[in-house]
Chains A and B, each alone.
Chain A
Amino acid sequence: MYPKLSLYIYAKYGMKILIIEDEKGLRESIEEYFTEAGNICETASDYTEAMAKVNVYRYDCILLDITLPGGNGIQILKDIKQNNYPDGVLIISARNSLDDRLEGLDLGADDYLVKPFHLSELRARVMAIIRRKSFSGNNILQFNELAIDLLAKSVKVKTQAVKLTRKEYALLLYFIANKGKVVSKNAIAEHLWGDGIDMANNFDFIYSHIKNLRKKLVEAGSHDYIQAAYGMGYKFTDQ
Chain B
Amino acid sequence: MKLLTRYNRVTLATTVVVMLITGIVYYFFIHFILIRDVDKDLEVEENEVFEYARENNRLPQVFESNDQQISFYEAPAGSVQRRFLDTLYKLTPNPNHRHRHHGEHYESGRGLITSVSAGNQYYKVLIVKSTVETEDLVKVIFLITIGVILLLLLILFLINRLLLNRLWQPFHALLKELRMFNVADNKDIAQIDTSIEEFRELNQVVTSMSSRVKSDYKDLKTFTENASHELLTPIAVINSKLDTLLQTDNFSQQQSKLLSDLYGAVSRLTRLNQSLLLLVKIENHLLGSEQDINLKVAIEELVMQFDEIFQDKGLKVTCDLQDKMLLTNPYLVDVLLNNLLSNAIRHNHADGEIRIKLDGVKLSIQNTGENTALRSENLFRRFHKSASSEGNGLGLTISQQICENLGYDLRYDFITGLHIFTVIF
Contact = CB atoms under 8 A, between A and B. Distances in A.
Interface string A169-211: 0000000000001101111001001111111110011001100
B383 interface: no
A184 B236 contact: no
A137 interface: no
Given A200-B312, A201-B390, A232-B259, A119 B240 contact: yes
A198 B260 CA distance: 15
A26 B281 CA distance: 26
Contacts of A186: 263-264, 267
Contact of A26 (B229, B237, B250, B331): B237
User: B-side binding surface: helix, strand, loop or mixed?
Assistant: helix
Interface stretch (B148-156, B185-193, B301-309): B301-309
A113 to B, nearest CB: 10
Contacts of B267: 186, 190, 198
B244 A119 contact: yes
A98 interface: yes
A195 B394 CA distance: 14
A33 B244 contact: yes
Interface in A215-232: 229-232
A97 B287 contact: yes
A157 to B, nearest CB: 24
A117 interface: yes
Contacts of B288: 97-99, 102
Contacts of B376: none
Interface stretch (B85-93, B163-171, B338-346, B403-411): B338-346
Nearest to B284: A97
A158 interface: no
B297 interface: no
Nearest to B343: A199
Interface in B197-243: 229, 232-233, 235-243
Contacts of B345: 199
A94 B236 CA distance: 9
A70 interface: no
Main secondary structure of the interface of A (DSSP, over half): helix
Given A193-B305, A193-B309, A232 B281 contact: no
A29 B259 CA distance: 17
A96 B233 CA distance: 13
B294 interface: no
A204 B338 contact: no
Contacts of B244: 29, 32-33, 119
A232 B243 CA distance: 11
A156 interface: no
A118 interface: yes
Q: Give the residue among B259, B264, B312 with the most A Cβ atoms within 10 A.
A: B312
A233 interface: yes
Contacts of B341: 196
A200 B243 contact: no
A4 interface: no
Contacts of A232: 246, 251, 256, 259-260, 263
A199 B246 contact: no
Nearest to B259: A232
Interface in B43-99: none
A117 B237 CA distance: 9
Given A119-B240, A229-B246, A98 B232 contact: no
19 contacts: A23-B237, A25-B237, A29-B241, A94-B232, A97-B288, A102-B288, A116-B236, A184-B246, A194-B305, A196-B302, A197-B309, A198-B271, A199-B342, A201-B264, A230-B251, A230-B256, A230-B259, A232-B251, A232-B263
CB-CB nearest 7 A-B residue pairs: A29-B240, A116-B236, A205-B312, A230-B256, A98-B288, A25-B237, A119-B243
